[in-house]
Amino acid sequence: MTASRPCGPTLVLGGIRSGKSAFAEELTAGLGSDVVYLATGVAVDDDFAERIRKHQESRPADWVTVEESLNPAAALEPALSERHGKTAVLVDSLDTWVSNLLWQHEEAPAQDLEPMAMDKLQALLDTGCRPGVDMVLVSSETGMGLVAPTEVGRRFQDLLGLVNQKAAARCSTVYLVAAGIPVTIKDER
């Protein structure tokens, strides 16, 4: 994998319930600009619907929400074109987006799915590097646990690991949140 030069976005990594989303929301709110919140979650069951509801309730009312599960960069275009001046974009989350891609293309071999995911991620990162856009990306860190016991679990871990690596290489700032405490692991601002 070749590293791209960092251009500005921020990546917030952490485990499930680590506090990464709350920290990313705090970071985004502190950017002092209009906020577009890109939500990638799809309510596939009652529990996930409840998680989405809680995330929605935690956001300030003046944040614009865009919901897109498969093509985040394309979904951001209309919202960004309506804004003039500095805009903060919070993408929550890359791991849910990767999960959505896997379910949408579950029969696709890795050699087809990985380039598609990387192209879509590249488009999203390019959006985050545009003048006047401050982007914060949220993702689960996948490399700290056991290897998944199922094929789909391993495909998810492998693809998310690649996505996180590419995002971290392109972002100028990367945080890891553990037990609600953010730790800076990269700062090239």
105 is annotated as an active-site residue: no
CA distances in angstroms from 89 to 24, 50, 78, 92, listed in the order given:
10, 23, 13, 10
**Which two tokens mark 40?**
């990638």
Q: Which of the 8 DSSP states describes residue 28?
A: H
**Nearest CA among 93, 65, 87 for reference residue 8:** 87
**Which two tokens mark 9?**
């976005």
**Nearest CA among 127, 69, 138 for reference residue 102:** 69
Catalytic residue among 20, 55, 59, 170: 55
Q: Which of the 8 DSSP states describes residue 147?
A: P
Distance CA 90, CA 93 (A): 9
Catalytic residue annotation: 55
